[in-house]
């Protein structure tokens, strides 16, 4: 019988109702309820999605339209800007307590938000933000990280985050990996960047499937048509679930490492199998390891 095995002490938390987050410009109050109904979590955007002249109206809409606070995130403007302070003043008049800090770069800025108190998703989308992702993830107020490619390239003086065929350039992939690793190191969920080509649902599917397989907890969307694609990508396939169920069944009667369908199976592989079943809403099966506590 395989000895009981604890999974890593730091395990990604899942603060979201589901894997598909949808941005909604906060100056479009007519879209608030539609976005909330379409996605697992709606991100009311006070930053790049709103023109400077419309930001005050957007803040007023935030005060007036009540969505479910547990399924709503408010993206606020970067720290040390006048709009940041105005966003926080508006937020204090609402029930929303989870914010996405645009262009997050310094741990102290997250700490200040945590003192309000607010839950923070640190959006690492500049060179400094990506470099400091580990420090941002370590802040107690941080519940998740997200990475972004377009502002990152702007901060680097670059021209495009992707090759002409749609693949990310190397620097974008480096940032993706660095933010994902920083989140994993501190048990924070990590959100994958948006796919800007709305019509390219095949490209979105490939990207979302890779995100789910790599350890991202969710992916952000910019259009309702992307939501169902992202949701499907994060659900394990029947073949994956069949493999997980069978390999855990065999593990019950195995004395240690064994081979299944030509592949060595050890404790990390069994942990992956358990996570697949949890992702599908199933149990771990009757394997010998108990469910590890959340951090």
Residue 202 has pLDDT above 50, yes or no: yes
- Measured CA to CA, the distance from residue 54 to residue 283 in angstroms comes to 48
Residue 37 has pLDDT above 80, yes or no: yes
Q: What is the mean pLDDT of residues 27-39?
A: 98
Q: What is the mean pLDDT of residues 117-141?
A: 98
The CA distances from residue 18 to 57, 217, 249, 255, in Å, are: 29, 9, 28, 37
Q: What is the mean pLDDT of residues 138-150?
A: 97
pLDDT of residue 223: 98
pLDDT digit string, tens, across residues 246-267:
889 888 888 789 889 889 988 8
Q: What is the mean pLDDT of residues 174-200?
A: 97
The fraction of the chain above a pLDDT of 90, given in percent, is 74
pLDDT of residue 287: 32
The average confidence (pLDDT) of the chain is 89
Long-range Cβ contacts of 279-287 (<8 Å, 24+ apart): 279/234, 279/235, 279/236, 280/235, 280/236, 280/241, 282/241, 284/248, 285/245, 285/248, 285/249, 286/248, 286/252, 287/2, 287/248, 287/251, 287/252
- pLDDT band, residue 15 (cuts 50/70/90): low
pLDDT digit string, tens, across residues 43-62:
999 999 999 999 999 999 99
Tell me which DSSP letter residue 67 carries.
-
- 67 versus 277: the higher-pLDDT residue is 67
pLDDT of residue 12: 45
Residue 244 has pLDDT above 90, yes or no: no
Q: Which domains does the chain have, with CATH numbers?
A: 20-233 (3.20.20.60), 238-279 (no CATH)
Q: What is the dihedral of CA 111, 112, 115, 117, to 10 degrees?
A: -100
Residue 38 has pLDDT above 90, yes or no: yes
Q: At what angle do helices 55-64 and 82-91 cross, to 10 degrees?
A: 10
Q: Which residues does 59 contact at the CB level (< 8 Å), separation at least 6?
A: 26, 46, 86, 87, 90
């Amino acid at each position: 019988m395989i000895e009981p095995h604890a999974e890593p002490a730091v395990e990604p938390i899942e603060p979201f109702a589901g894997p598909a987050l949808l941005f909604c410009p906060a100056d479009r109050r007519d879209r608030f309820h539609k976005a909330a109904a379409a996605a697992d979590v709606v991100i009311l955007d006070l930053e790049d999605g709103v023109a400077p002249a419309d930001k005050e109206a957007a803040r007023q809409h935030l005060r007036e339209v009540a969505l479910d606070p547990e399924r709503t995130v408010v993206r606020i403007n970067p720290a040390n800007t006048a709009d940041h302070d105005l966003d926080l003043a508006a937020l204090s008049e609402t029930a929303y307590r989870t914010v996405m800090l645009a262009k997050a770069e310094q741990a102290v800025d997250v700490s200040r938000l945590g003192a309000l108190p607010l839950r923070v998703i640190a959006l690492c989308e500049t060179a400094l933000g990506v470099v400091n992702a580990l420090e941002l993830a370590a802040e107690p107020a941080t519940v998740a990280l997200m990475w972004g490619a377009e502002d990152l390239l702007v901060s680097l003086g670059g021209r495009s985050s992707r090759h002409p065929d749609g693949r990310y350039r190397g620097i974008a992939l480096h940032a993706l990996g660095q933010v994902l690793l920083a989140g994993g190191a501190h048990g924070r969920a990590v959100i994958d960047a948006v796919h800007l080509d709305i019509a390219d649902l095949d490209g979105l599917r490939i990207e979302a499937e890779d995100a789910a397989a790599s350890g991202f907890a969710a992916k952000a969307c910019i259009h309702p048509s992307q939501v169902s694609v992202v949701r499907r990508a994060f659900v394990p396939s029947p073949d994956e679930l069949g493999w997980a169920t069978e390999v855990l069944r065999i593990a019950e009667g195995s004395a240690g490492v064994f081979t299944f369908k030509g592949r060595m199976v050890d404790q990390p592989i069994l942990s992956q199998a358990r996570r697949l079943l949890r992702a599908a809403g199933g149990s771990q099966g009757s394997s010998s390891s108990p469910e590890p506590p959340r951090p």
